[in-house]
């Protein structure tokens, strides 16, 4: 970002989370212009516009609006960003080819961040057919302060990655809520059950991230034969109940990504 101006088109939950992290990392707000359909509050120093600024295109444009707004943005903005060296899209389900049909730019990179990027502990999956190494390096450097960055070489897997890491925080939040509700069902005060569930998941995730063995091995280490943890795991493991539930969950999300991709192609 230090190499030129950046236009962030759309600034909802995800765009706002990315912006907050970049500023926390010390990026110059004067280089950033947020473009939204209506005025909104932004951090000090960040410019706002409802139409694209006059003058030459910026070094980087990031598409962060809703995927359903793609054609409206194309009609209004495509001529103004023609020639931009790097276009990064975080639009779920919108393939690189669909973007290339709409925007005459140098390199297109698809990115799929998840919400914990706001605290620098997110995941950002990247994919590009472009071979311009400096552009790819710029995209990766821009995303690195947000958390783990992974390049996905096979574009066909991007919907699966979106389902796993992009949608994953929502599924984890639901699990934490269910764990707390289960504790409350056993008689714990609801607020206390929630604190315990949150701390348990946070500590366990940190331990798993730092471990030199898989989470499956860690689970077995916690579960002594005949103990209470083993009895609970028996419920989750019976007929692969938990795995089957999560496969169905991710499949539903992957299917929706494919539907949005088809709509963007049309």
What's the pLDDT score for residue 81? 92
What's the pLDDT score for residue 3? 61
Full residue range of the structural domain in which residue 90 is found: 6-153
Rg (CA), the chain: 21
Structurally, how many domains does the chain consist of?
2
Considering the domain boundaries, does residue 149 fall inside one?
yes
Task: Give yes or no: residues 12 and 137 share one domain.
Answer: yes
The span from the CA of 128 to the CA of 153, in Å, is 8
Task: Give yes or no: residues 214 and 129 share one domain.
Answer: no
What is the average pLDDT score of the chain?
93
70-129 pLDDT tens trace: 999 999 899 999 999 999 999 988 999 999 999 999 999 999 999 999 999 999 999 999
The span from the CA of 218 to the CA of 185, in Å, is 27
- Whether 198 has a pLDDT exceeding 90, the answer reads yes
126-169 pLDDT tens trace: 999 989 999 999 999 999 999 999 999 999 999 999 999 999 99
39-65 pLDDT tens trace: 888 999 999 998 888 888 899 999 999
Considering the domain boundaries, does residue 263 fall inside one?
no
Considering the domain boundaries, does residue 265 fall inside one?
no
Per-residue pLDDT band for 222 (boundaries 50, 70, 90) equals: very high
> Which one is predicted more confidently, 182 or 51?
182
């Amino acid at each position: 970002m230090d190499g030129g101006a950046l236009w962030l088109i759309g600034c909802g939950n995800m765009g706002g989370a990315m912006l907050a992290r970049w500023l926390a990392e010390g990026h110059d707000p004067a280089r950033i212009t947020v473009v939204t359909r209506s005025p909104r509050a932004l951090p000090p120093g960040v410019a706002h516009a409802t139409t694209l600024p006059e003058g030459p295109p910026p070094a980087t444009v990031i598409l962060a609006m809703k995927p359903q707004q793609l054609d409206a943005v194309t009609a209004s903005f495509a001529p103004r960003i023609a020639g931009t060296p790097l276009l990064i899209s975080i639009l779920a389900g919108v393939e690189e080819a669909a973007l290339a049909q709409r925007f005459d730019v140098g390199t297109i990179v698809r990115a799929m961040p998840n919400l914990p990027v706001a605290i620098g502990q997110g995941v950002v999956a990247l994919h590009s057919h472009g071979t311009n190494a400096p552009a790819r390096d710029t995209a990766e450097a821009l995303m690195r302060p947000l958390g783990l960055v992974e390049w996905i070489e096979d574009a066909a897997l991007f919907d699966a990655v979106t389902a796993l890491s992009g949608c994953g925080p929502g599924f984890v939040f639901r699990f934490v809520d269910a764990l707390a509700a289960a504790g409350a069902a056993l008689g714990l005060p609801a607020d206390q059950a929630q604190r315990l569930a949150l701390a348990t998941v946070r500590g366990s995730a940190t331990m798993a991230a730092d471990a030199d063995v898989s989470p499956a091995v860690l689970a077995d280490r916690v579960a002594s034969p005949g103990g209470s943890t083993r009895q609970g795991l028996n419920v989750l493991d019976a007929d692969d109940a938990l795995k089957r539930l999560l496969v169905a969950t991710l499949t539903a999300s992957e299917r929706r990504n494919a539907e949005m991709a088809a709509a963007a192609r049309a």
